[in-house]
């Protein structure tokens, strides 16, 4: 089951739907659009 979830997450990352960060020995996936909007919001402040 976990292997299937990993394939789905990696597929979403490959199609630029999720951002993937490597922290120490772990991967962290996050919403790429939310990250970009947060960066724009910080720049305008």
Amino acid 29: pLDDT:
87
C-alpha count within 13 angstroms, C-beta hemisphere, residue 42? 6
pTM above threshold 0.75: no
Enclosing domain of residue 6: 2-44
Report CA dihedral (4, 22, 18, 31) to the nearest 10 degrees: 120
- Contact indicator for 4, 15 with CB cutoff of 8 Å: no
Q: How many domains does the chain have?
A: 1
CA distance 23 to 4: 22
Tens digit of each residue's pLDDT, the chain (45 residues): 889 998 998 888 888 888 888 888 898 888 888 877 887 876 666
């Amino acid at each position: 089951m976990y292997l299937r979830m990993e394939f789905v997450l990696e597929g979403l990352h490959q199609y630029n739907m999720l951002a993937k960060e490597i922290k120490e020995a772990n991967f962290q996936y996050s919403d790429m659009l939310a990250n970009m909007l947060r960066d724009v919001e910080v720049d305008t402040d």
